[in-house]
Chain A
Amino acid sequence: MSRPFVPFRQFVLKVHSRCDLACDHCYVYEHADQSWRGRPKVISDETVSWTAARIAEHVKEHGLDRVHVVMHGGEPLLAGPGRLGRIAAELRGRLDGFCELDLRIHTNGVLLDERFCEVFAEHGVKVGVSLDGDRAANDRHRRFADGRSSYDRVIRAVELLRTRPELYAGLLCTIDVANDPVAVYRGLVALDPPRIDFLLPHATWDDPPPRPSPTAYADWLITIFETWVAEGGATPVRMFESIIRTSAGEPSLTESLGLQPSDLVVIETDGSYEQADSLKTAFEGAPGTGLHVLRHTLDEVAGHTGILARQQGLDGLCDACRACPVVDSCGGGLYAHRYRTGSGFANPSVFSADLFKLITHVRRRMKMHTPTRTATHTVPSTVIDTLASGLGGQDEVGHLAESQRSLRRALLAAVNSAAGADGGAFSGADTAAAWELISALDGTHPQVVDAVLAHPYVRVWATECLRDGRHAGHLANVAAAMAIRAGVTAALDVQVLAGSVHLPTLGVLEVDPGGTAGPGGVPGPEAGRTARLETAEGAFEVAGDGHPGAVTPDTGDDRGAGGEGGGAGRPGWHPVRRLRAGDVSVVLEDTDPFRDCHQWPAEGRLTDDRAQDWQRAFERAWALIEAEHPGYAPGLRAGLTTLMPLTPGPEGREVSSTARHAFGAVAAALPEDPATLALLLIHEFQHVKLGAILDILDLYDEKDTRLFHAPWREDPRPLEGLLQGTYAHLAVTDFWRVRRHAVPERGNEQFARWRRHTAEAIETLAASGALTPLGERFVAEMRRPAAAWLDEPVPEAAAACADRSARDHRKKWTAETSASHQ
């Protein structure tokens, strides 16, 4: 099975290949691979320049938003502050502006002084230090060649970093089970590190670690874990955090645990690309790739079998590991630790027994269990077939609507996570209280939470928020709308946009008439202030809005388009109106600040008269749909929740639109006649259905970037655009197939034209080679009605008109396409 390409995001740059200490446990100098002996001591400026260029090339090629570079050794400070400054400047010069660069250095600390710190501060370099614990532990291995202790020098370096916390990344401790674990832990914690990690000493089955008891490493780490837990886990410990996270189904923070693929490459001082540094412990030459930064791109390195081998996840593990109940957390341990002559890396880790005992202990202690994967949505094949035919009723559209609930909940959780306590992506927005309220209401009033989240423009807001980090504060407005609907007492600081407090599904309250608005009265992108909003018993008040008394919004579905509905008479309150026709009721959305996401601009708040125009048009259009196009009515009834008025198109052109993230909403400028509104509703709702199908199912290969001829467009279309257009025109054809009996001349012409275009586009899709098996089935089902319609008789003049139209369009398109390729 092919796996997705994993671009490199982590780069270990070996800036110096020698060290000023002679630690006897060092994997670089004391283990199997001795390649350091033939390498230049220090990386050259030319190699640095090529490395930076290669990374930049890789970033642009794969659109990477963030990469990590670690300056490493040997001992990287031996390169000196001047060279390190040049290296950092070169990397920042090449990468800043294209992606975020997380630049770090990892050192033994011996040489660290103010000069280095100044360089690191200037170039934004964070510093990690190796320290094996208290003095006794550190001096066991980390000594100078003449036997002197390095402890005092390292402590001086760490103390320097403590005065510059912006540079201090943390401490790395290599485990020796001969050391007192609590003394080691306390020795590290006393230095106030932002994070600690404990590293198992590099070892293989050929050269196993010192082991006084069968699970000595687990026992040593469990002692520290218990101390850590007893003290509230105040200092983050990467190994423990990773076990806890992977036990909850979240990603590990280190390559030594978990099943995540590796995206790391090493660049040695001579410009050679190497695999994981730790492979030096396996055998001579183990990390080598034979590739070089001057001659090979990073994409070429990414195809190296050794790199790919560390991206296989569960599939890359031996049978014993795959069957292990803690494999989600262990991940087979560090790749290098699995090595044994003869079987290579197809073994459990040489620390397997320790990892099993430690992970089991952590899970039991934290009352965690093996992560169970939440079930996924499923859709009956018959439902997909019915939808593919262009139709779909309560059951079929209901399936889509149900899956949208999961998407909305995921988006909301993602917004909350991104706006989290750690500063997240959305600094400045205090969303904790809103999230707490929503979470509580999710337990006590789940239908209310669902109802507000189901508003199409709540998803639009969430997606915009995740994209650009703005308007995270609107989470409080979402929470306030839920609280009002639930009738609970709450107080929240809600976002004020363009002088108004917007409450999704309920309406908008003007609190600052001077607030700025964009075109059509829709709030612009500028973030507003916040206002204190208090809710109780279904009513709310906003402090300082200039009007005494509470607003009691109408939360039912029976309010009409005319008048101001619930809260009537309250100055500045504009409730959401509804349109009704028979047993159908949809929101007439002209207040939501995130509704202006369509191809055409949103219309501002409608006057009562204009809203009544919409009511009359909707009633008549719905009556036409039920009478003449009854196959589409059940689907619309099940899934159409919102009509969003657009500003009229240029020169009276009919305009309508859907937005991919606004499930249930159709946007349109009010057409002249009800038949046109009926057509727009049927047409646009096809896009709503197909968008929801594509949200959960793969119908085509998203990596296929080819463009295709669409018979109704001047420009070539990507596959999704062609699929969307074809699916919509399937219904348009069906509309005119019926409508031609009422308006024969235009109707026959339209039917003849659209059936031909649709059939042609279906064949383009089928022949594209880009459809998944499910997509092929979907298109085959689309073909059934389209093919049958080709056999229906139409007047000769209409057929001739359709032929002429298709011929002219193809001719023009071919000419333009040819010209664009010359």
Chain B
Amino acid sequence: MNATGEKQAEVASDVRDLRDVPLALVRQAEFDEIVRRILPDSPDVRRVQVAAFNSSI
């Protein structure tokens, strides 16, 4: 048996762990990232959040 303190190598995903985040508090940035990943062709998903032109409204 391995020493109890030995840490197993982990591979990190880009997918945020939302299991314990209350649904009402799941932030747009968090779900946008996930939806972009699993639905890259979705028309309702902004691929990259970009900065809007300052000198017009």
Contacts and interface: CB of A to CB of B under 8 A. Distances in A.
Contact of A263 (B8, B45, B48): B48
B51 to A, nearest CB: 3
Contact of B57 (A10, A172, A374): A172
Contact of B32 (A104, A405, A414): A414
13 contacts: A4-B48, A256-B54, A260-B50, A376-B15, A377-B15, A380-B11, A411-B38, A413-B31, A425-B44, A466-B44, A661-B38, A697-B11, A702-B40
B48 A6 contact: yes
Interface of A: 4, 6, 9-10, 12, 65, 68, 70, 72, 104, 106, 128, 169-172, 195-197, 199, 238, 248-256, 258, 260-264, 277-278, 331, 334, 373-382, 384, 402-403, 405-407, 409-414, 417-418, 425, 438-439, 442-443, 449, 463, 466-467, 469, 661, 695-698, 702, 774
B9 interface: yes
Interface bin, chain B: 35 or more
A413 B10 CA distance: 28
Contact of B22 (A72, A443, A702): A443
Contact of A378 (B13, B33, B52): B13
Contact of A374 (B18, B40, B48, B50): B18
A76 B36 CA distance: 37
Given A375-B16, A376-B16, A466-B39, A381 B55 contact: no
A4 B56 CA distance: 27
A70 to B, nearest CB: 5
Given A12-B53, A376-B12, A414-B32, 4 more contacts: A249-B27, A263-B50, A377-B16, A467-B44
Contact of A466 (B10, B18, B35): B35
9 tightest A-B CB contacts, nearest first:
A255-B51, A251-B49, A410-B34, A106-B56, A410-B31, A413-B26, A696-B13, A170-B57, A439-B24
B10 A379 contact: yes
A381 B51 contact: no
Interface SS of B by simple majority? loop
B57 A106 contact: yes
A106 B55 CA distance: 8
A199 B15 CA distance: 36
A378 B12 contact: yes
A263 B49 CA distance: 9
B19 A406 contact: yes
A261 B43 contact: no
A583 to B, nearest CB: 26
B24 to A, nearest CB: 4
Contacts of B10: 378-381
Contacts of A170: 57
B23 A377 contact: no
A406 B28 contact: no
B18 A381 contact: no
Contact of A402 (B14, B19, B32, B55): B19
Contacts of A70: 53, 56
Given A378-B11, A403-B13, A467-B44, A413 B23 contact: yes
B6 interface: no
Nearest to B12: A378
Contact of B55 (A72, A418, A463): A72
A410 B50 contact: no
A10 B21 CA distance: 34
Contacts of B4: none
A237 to B, nearest CB: 11
Given A238-B57, A260-B51, A442 B22 contact: yes
A264 B17 contact: no
- Residue among B39, B45, B50 with max Cβ neighbours from chain A (10 Å): B50
- Residue among A65, A249, A425 with max Cβ neighbours from chain B (10 Å): A65
Given A172-B57, A249-B29, A254-B54, A403 B15 contact: yes
Contacts of B11: 378-381, 384, 697, 774
Given A65-B43, A376-B13, A381-B9, A199 B30 contact: no
Contacts of B16: 373-377, 406, 410
A774 B54 CA distance: 41
Contacts of B31: 409-411, 413-414, 417
